[in-house]
Structure 1
Amino acid sequence: MALKTCLLLSAGLVSLCSGHDSDYVKSLPQNARQMFTESMTWMDDYHDSSAGYLYNFGGASALRYETRSSAWYALGLLARNSGDDVSEAEKIITNIIAGQYKEPADQWFGDYQQEPEEPYVGSTNYPPKIYGSFDPNWRGFIGTTFVMAIEEFGHLLSNGTKDLVLESLRNATIGDSYRVGGVDDDNLYSSYSNPAIMRAFVSGWTGRQLGDKNMTDAGETYAGEIIDLFNMHQTLSEFNSGTYTGVSLFGLTLWSKYLPADSVMTENGPKMLRATWDAVAQLWHPGMKNMAGPWDRAYGYDMNKYVSLMALWFWTILGKDKSSLIAKPQAMSHVADYAWAPLFSILSSFHSSLLPENITCRLSSFRQERTFSAQAYYPPYDLVPRNISTWLSTNLTIGAESYEETVIGGPSTSQTSFNPAVVQWLVDGKDVGFISLYPTETALAAQVAPGTLNLTYPKGNSSSIFTFVVSTNKKQRTVSGWEDVTGLKVGVSGNANLTYGLEFAGQYGGKGSLIRDFEFWNFTYSMPDGFEGVPNLVLEFESV
């Protein structure tokens, strides 16, 4: 593909036509306009105008409403500006602000209700639980959306609504300042990339709007901490996440677009965004439509089966058919993130202007077998920087990271989302198989070479295990051993007991439970009786 063609695709210069869209929507690049229109049509079906909210996308929610997606939908309504869209958007925005927590003494001050039906946090029978009864990151998710509403569509909003939004942003910013990593169960450090980037932005933007120098300076100072961490290795601390890299790129786009030239965020946002995309371009496998591992935080094992935010960015750059989304993303797992689409669509033109040169060509087709290496650092959970190594070939990828951490499961303390070693392969040239090491140790030394994954537990002992989550396949539904794993030949050696345990985790049965909606086979190796030494397991792979 010629460079000129790639640049045209990236810019999305061809427009789709629709008589019902506003001039603003018609002005969006082709791919972004398609994503905007399809996502808004989907959300229209969940909109309850009488309540001024969207219904929760989860089928098990018994027609309860959901706050965050309602905010995103409201921004889309302002962009579409057809019929009563603006009045509906204002209704949603005022409802959300009415449900914002406004008692300064509360830890959750300035945060937003997760649903309008829930009791007041901290009231009798509804005790405060971070990431339970309240999610402090929603200040950032909703706050950034409100900033975009003012910046892009302030001319459509009444003065009263704009005043409400600014007051809401003031409260959200002050509430976010209560967050200190390690205090009151909070985990917001400057290394927690996606909410940290949003926090710095909302504080810096709101402080300038209100003429509050302390608030502005707080945003700039916090951004400086994020930048210093990034500059250590030119990587986000929260590295290679199909979901959260997408949020960080969103936040860096806001840094770059909506703040003045004298902001440290305006200065550094574009550089950080380009460096992040450079890493993504090396890890993205167009044939598999997946980002090769390892993944710091993942909501699934195959991006073709769950909605990832990176897939939305890929849609804006490459087109829907080359992203990892199916024709109807609303059928995929983790569908709630599809509601981000209007925000990414609105930002797409500016975002594309910041991308590295020739990025469309690099993402469009698999170029050559290659090895990627990087480091990332997430204090205070990382005792040393993580060393990342990934090998990619036409039909097989292997990626792993060496780490020494204070907790099992990475900084999110989640064994189900931290994937420190990942193998993916093409089955019959189409479907994607996967193997992921389920983390059970605080330290891992991993070596990746073509076709080989070498895993060692430096702090392991006789009770250590190596346990792997392995994909199911329609072609071989019943698995009795590695020989039944479709499309891949697996050889295993090392000082572990090579007689492994095998279990199935399924929707309707088996010994284990689903992980992130995925069914899987679980292969587990334990150490021999009386073992002394350092546990080691070597896996060799060949796609067949």
Structure 2
Amino acid sequence: MQVSDSRYDRSYNYIWYQDKGQWSTRFTAWYVPGLLYRAEGDDVECGIAAIESVLATQMTIDFDAAWYGTFKVSPDAPDPTPDGTLYPPDIYNTYDPNWREFVGTQLVQIVEEFSHLLTDDLISQIEDALEIGAVGEMRRNGSYPEDDNLILAYTNPALMRALTVGWIGKRRNNQTMIDYAWKQGEDLLALYQRNGSDTLGEYNAPNYYGMDIWALAANIAYGPSDAPMTKNSKIILSDLWKDIAAHYNPYLGNLVGPYDRAYSRDATTHSQILTLFLWGIFGRENSPQPPKGEGDFLFDVAQGAALALIMDVVGQHIDDDSAATLTAQGWWEGGRFLNNTIWDDLTADKKRTATSWISAGLMIGGETVAEAENRGDQFVPAIVHWASDPKHTPRPYNGFFSLYPSASTVTAVAGPNTLTVSYPNTTQEGTNIFTFALTGIPPSWTLKNRHIVTGFDDLPCLDVNVSAPGLKPLDVAYGATLRDHWIYNISYAVPANFSGTPQVHFELEYTC
């Protein structure tokens, strides 16, 4: 609450955060439950004013628009202008369809937890907004409206949509909405359990696992008692924590890769929403955390009050073995291998394979995917973590290098001390180069004997043997950033006359 208190603009009753405008509608919604819970001084008055400010940002003018029923990213922004140059529609930029879910689930929590502080009229306005939002939510199918990508496998908004549509459908006795949410709840569990995979479509995503946990716990806490998603969320949430524990390295304080979506690749230096739950359940000192002043932490912790209100629900779904793994610290012996299949939908034979090998000082992840479109720099199909400075406190300093996925078809396979990356479809753009982003090199190494990174041949605590037959190593460059990590760019070019499948193979040994 201290972070949001310092950003609250009392003149307009919005949180001042210059992300996609001067203020943030979403951050304002996240601030409200903290105000209503604290209820000191004029907190309740400010909370009610903030709710009214959030509701005022809902876009309702163009019924047929892709953004109908969602909320402006910032109250000072105009509605998108499809027939003009003022503010042309650009999904996730000039409008964000997922804010129906981000703001909508927050409004559900506010009504469920704090109705006694709200007037009947304001509650009715919230219900109206959620009903309008549900219309826009139910239209989305991954290809319609234009540019839409909300399929079942887009886990975090899909889980939140099941709650918002089901909740308002039940509240307003709207059978169309009830039926839609009921079907979504059944399909989401079916996709999760397809062929015994027990994996979310948005798999191993440290930030979005946090949003998944929020959505699952909110479904349990606030969803209609007879809704499939309310019941199924208990199954998925309990299983999810077992999967998180299986991927968690208590020595390095990170999940082993690969990551379907990741902003930060290191929970000990940058924020990951998942670790807010570890903090809330096990205590900050018992969980990997960035410094409290870290910029992306200040972004994520804006939701902290809302998350705190469902921590008890989350904690009830973590088994003792998982809790023991998640609270352990220090070196541990042995290693383990993980192999998981991720499905995109319920019928097509379209799947990805994630392999991971994890030991205390070194862990490796790879994902095999064959797609037509590049997933972008949030996608981490190949990554190696190691303790680059085991003397660093309170946890070892994490070094890591990850593949920058320049192609959309990647075969990356992890094994004990090995990682193999190849581009099997050389007709695709981006298969002419393998680019690896290296970071986490400690100053105790760079300053001692004036070490200079010239590739993978001389790294602290890690022996790397690289085989890249027929490829040309390029000069190493430092100074760019990738998702807030300062990186060394280590690349291997594929010559124009190369024949066969280009591949880079790593043999790795932790040496400290």
TM-score of the superposed pair, with normalisation by structure 2:
0.91
- Paired position in structure 1 for 2:260: 296
Q: Secondary structure at the match of 1:358?
A: helix
Name segments (4+ residues, structure 1) moved above 4 Å.
379-383
String of CA shifts for 1:1-44, please: whole Å, max 9, x gaps. Answer: xxxxxxxxxxxxxxxxxxxxxxxxxxxxxxxxxxxxxxx02211
Contact 1:381 1:407 in 2 (8 A): no
Over 3 Å counting, the alpha-carbon distance change for 1:283 and 1:312 in structure 2 is same
Please tell me whether residue 467 in structure 1 is matched to residue 431 in structure 2. no
Please tell me whether residue 108 in structure 1 is matched to residue 71 in structure 2. no
The one-letter code sitting in structure 2 at the alignment partner of 1:502 is: D
Mapped to 2, the partners of 1:382 and 1:500 lie a distance apart of 39
Query: Which of these residues, 535, 539, 542, is aligned with residue 502 of structure 2?
Result: 535
Query: Which of these residues, 64, 76, 89, is aligned with residue 34 of structure 2?
Result: 76
Q: Which runs of 5+ in 2 are unaligned?
A: 391-395
Query: Which of these residues, 97, 117, 120, is aligned with residue 156 of structure 1?
Result: 117
- Paired position in structure 1 for 2:43: 85
The one-letter code sitting in structure 1 at the alignment partner of 2:155 is: S
Over 3 Å counting, the alpha-carbon distance change for 1:312 and 1:472 in structure 2 is closer
Contact 1:502 1:521 in 2 (8 A): no
Over 3 Å counting, the alpha-carbon distance change for 1:420 and 1:381 in structure 2 is farther
Mapped to 1, the partners of 2:303 and 2:151 lie a distance apart of 24
- Paired position in structure 1 for 2:183: 221
- Paired position in structure 2 for 1:480: 454
Q: How many residues align?
A: 489
- Paired position in structure 2 for 1:98: 56
String of CA shifts for 1:314-336, please: whole Å, max 9, x gaps. Answer: 112221123222341x3243631
Q: Secondary structure at the match of 2:131?
A: helix
Query: Which of these residues, 140, 148, 171, is aligned with residue 186 of structure 1?
Result: 148
- Paired position in structure 2 for 1:318: 282
- Paired position in structure 2 for 1:339: 302
Give the deviation of 1:185 after TM superposition: 0.5
Mapped to 2, the partners of 1:173 and 1:465 lie a distance apart of 44
Mapped to 1, the partners of 2:413 and 2:14 lie a distance apart of 50
Give the deviation of 1:472 after TM superposition: 4.8
Mapped to 2, the partners of 1:361 and 1:333 lie a distance apart of 28
Mapped to 1, the partners of 2:440 and 2:322 lie a distance apart of 33
- Paired position in structure 1 for 2:318: 355
Mapped to 2, the partners of 1:198 and 1:393 lie a distance apart of 35
Mapped to 2, the partners of 1:102 and 1:529 lie a distance apart of 53
- Paired position in structure 2 for 1:376: 342
Give the deviation of 1:270 after TM superposition: 0.7
The one-letter code sitting in structure 2 at the alignment partner of 1:465 is: I
The one-letter code sitting in structure 2 at the alignment partner of 1:153 is: F
Give the deviation of 1:529 after TM superposition: 5.5
The one-letter code sitting in structure 2 at the alignment partner of 1:464 is: N
String of CA shifts for 1:270-295, please: whole Å, max 9, x gaps. Answer: 11111111110011112212111000
Please tell me whether residue 422 in structure 1 is matched to residue 391 in structure 2. no
Mapped to 1, the partners of 2:294 and 2:406 lie a distance apart of 32
Mapped to 1, the partners of 2:357 and 2:470 lie a distance apart of 25
Mapped to 2, the partners of 1:361 and 1:318 lie a distance apart of 10
Give the deviation of 1:441 after TM superposition: 2.5
Query: Which of these residues, 221, 240, 244, is aligned with residue 208 of structure 2?
Result: 244
Query: What percentage of aligned pairs have identical amino acids?
Result: 30
- Paired position in structure 1 for 2:87: 126
Q: Greater CA deviation, 245-254 or 443-452? A: 443-452
Give the deviation of 1:405 after TM superposition: 1.7
Q: Secondary structure at the match of 1:131?
A: coil
Give the deviation of 1:267 after TM superposition: 2.1
Q: Secondary structure at the match of 1:519?
A: strand
Give the deviation of 1:495 after TM superposition: 2.3
Q: Which runs of 5+ in 1 are unaligned?
A: 1-39, 507-512
Contact 1:381 1:406 in 2 (8 A): no
String of CA shifts for 1:26-82, please: whole Å, max 9, x gaps. Answer: xxxxxxxxxxxxxx0221111111210111066x97xx2111001000111111111
Please tell me whether residue 500 in structure 1 is matched to residue 473 in structure 2. yes
Contact 1:461 1:531 in 2 (8 A): no
Give the deviation of 1:496 after TM superposition: 3.6
Mapped to 2, the partners of 1:291 and 1:57 lie a distance apart of 30
Query: Which of these residues, 354, 369, 378, is aligned with residue 403 of structure 1?
Result: 369
Give the deviation of 1:190 after TM superposition: 1.1
Mapped to 2, the partners of 1:469 and 1:195 lie a distance apart of 29
Superposition RMSD in Å: 2.1
Select the structure with the greater relative contact order (CA < 8 A; seq sep ≥ 6): 1
Query: Which of these residues, 105, 108, 112, is aligned with residue 144 of structure 1?
Result: 105
Give the deviation of 1:155 after TM superposition: 0.8
The one-letter code sitting in structure 2 at the alignment partner of 1:164 is: Q
- Paired position in structure 2 for 1:491: 465
> Which residues in structure 2 correspond to 1:168-187 (within 5 Å)?
168-183=129-144, 184-187=146-149
- Paired position in structure 2 for 1:19: none
Contact 1:305 1:333 in 2 (8 A): no
String of CA shifts for 1:490-513, please: whole Å, max 9, x gaps. Answer: 11114242x41134342xxxxxx4
Query: Which of these residues, 11, 15, 20, is aligned with residue 54 of structure 1?
Result: 15
- Paired position in structure 2 for 1:449: 415
Over 3 Å counting, the alpha-carbon distance change for 1:381 and 1:133 in structure 2 is farther
Q: Greater CA deviation, 198-207 or 253-262? A: 253-262
Give the deviation of 1:84 after TM superposition: 1.2
Please tell me whether residue 235 in structure 1 is matched to residue 205 in structure 2. no
Mapped to 1, the partners of 2:266 and 2:470 lie a distance apart of 28
Give the deviation of 1:156 after TM superposition: 1.0
The one-letter code sitting in structure 1 at the alignment partner of 2:50 is: I
Over 3 Å counting, the alpha-carbon distance change for 1:542 and 1:57 in structure 2 is farther
Q: Secondary structure at the match of 2:81?
A: coil
Mapped to 2, the partners of 1:381 and 1:187 lie a distance apart of 18
- Paired position in structure 1 for 2:231: 267
Contact 1:179 1:188 in 2 (8 A): yes
Please tell me whether residue 522 in structure 1 is matched to residue 493 in structure 2. no
Contact 1:289 1:322 in 2 (8 A): no
